[in-house]
């Protein structure tokens, strides 16, 4: 009887050791597209002191548009309608963009209820990130810029979003603007080229 008890105890000890030495389960990342856009969708976007015009050009098999400020003394940007999202989840926005005549810099934002937002400014001349910042209930800002061809770049901005609805905000800017107010007044009528169908909002899911 004692031998049986001892054997059972030994089995339990070895089983516990084996369980403790097992490697932790690795998290996998899944990207789920929440919203993508077409040039037709851009008609529903809010134009605040900007113009958005088609140019006779196709890049990456998609149409190209010219986004330009129409005022130097007022805030200027292009903004999407509200997009429903899951509260306290991680989201990433991406867009393909190129510098135009009057600016080297491009502003990108995801915004919830004011002043909750995450912003980044990209230099489209040398392919660098000038600055990024998450404000208020948005956290953990990350930005990337990837060189494509012929001066085009893919810009991305990611953050944990404490909101039920968010907007995408884009526009040209200059070096005198801080990252959280890049849409404010500028010295030039800043402009950029964009590929509307490249604008994609994704939810980043950890499994």
CA-CA-CA-CA torsion sign (78, 80, 81, 84): negative
Q: Which domain range does residue 87 map to?
A: 26-206
**Residue 103's domain is classified under what CATH number?**
2.60.120.260
Between these two residues, 88 and 20, which has the higher pLDDT value?
88
pLDDT at 15 over 60: no
**The pLDDT value given to residue 103:** 85
Domain assignment present for 190: yes
Examine residue 45 and state whether it is found in any structural domain, yes or no: yes
Query: How far apart, in whole angstroms, are the C-alpha atoms of residue 117 and residue 108?
Result: 10
Half-sphere exposure of 66 (CA within 13 A, CB side): 15
Asked if residue 49 is part of any domain, the answer here is yes
pLDDT of 159 above 90: yes
Judge whether 129 lies within some domain.
yes
For 15, the 3-state DSSP assignment is helix
Q: If you average pLDDT over residues 22-30, what whole number do you get?
A: 59
85 occurs within a structural domain: yes
With a CB cutoff of 8 Å and minimum separation 6, the contacts of 96 are 59, 60, 148, 152, 153, 154, 155, 194, 195, 198
Number of structural domains (the chain) is 1
Task: Give yes or no for a cis peptide into 165 (omega within 30° of 0).
Answer: no
pLDDT: which is higher, 50 or 25: 50
pLDDT in tens, 128-148: 999 999 999 899 999 999 999
Indicate whether 187 belongs to any domain: yes
């Amino acid at each position: 009887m004692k031998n049986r008890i001892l054997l059972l105890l030994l089995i339990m000890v070895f089983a516990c050791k084996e369980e403790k030495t097992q490697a932790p389960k690795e998290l996998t990342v899944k990207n789920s597209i929440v919203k993508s856009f077409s040039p037709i969708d851009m008609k529903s976007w809010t134009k605040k002191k900007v113009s958005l015009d088609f140019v006779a050009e196709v890049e990456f098999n998609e149409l190209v548009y010219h986004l330009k400020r129409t005022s130097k003394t007022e805030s200027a940007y292009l903004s999407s309608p509200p997009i429903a999202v899951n509260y306290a989840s991680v989201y990433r926005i991406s867009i393909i963009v190129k510098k135009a005549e009057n600016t080297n810099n491009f502003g990108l934002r995801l915004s919830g209820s004011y002043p909750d937002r995450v912003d980044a400014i990209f230099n489209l001349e040398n392919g660098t990130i000038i600055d990024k910042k998450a404000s208020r209930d948005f956290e953990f800002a990350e930005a990337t810029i990837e060189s494509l061809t012929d001066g085009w770049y893919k810009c991305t901005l990611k953050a944990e979003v404490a909101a039920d609805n968010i907007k995408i905000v884009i526009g040209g800017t200059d070096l005198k603007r801080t990252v959280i107010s890049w849409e404010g007044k500028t010295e030039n009528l800043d402009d950029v080229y964009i590929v509307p169908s490249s604008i994609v909002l994704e939810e980043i899911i950890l499994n």
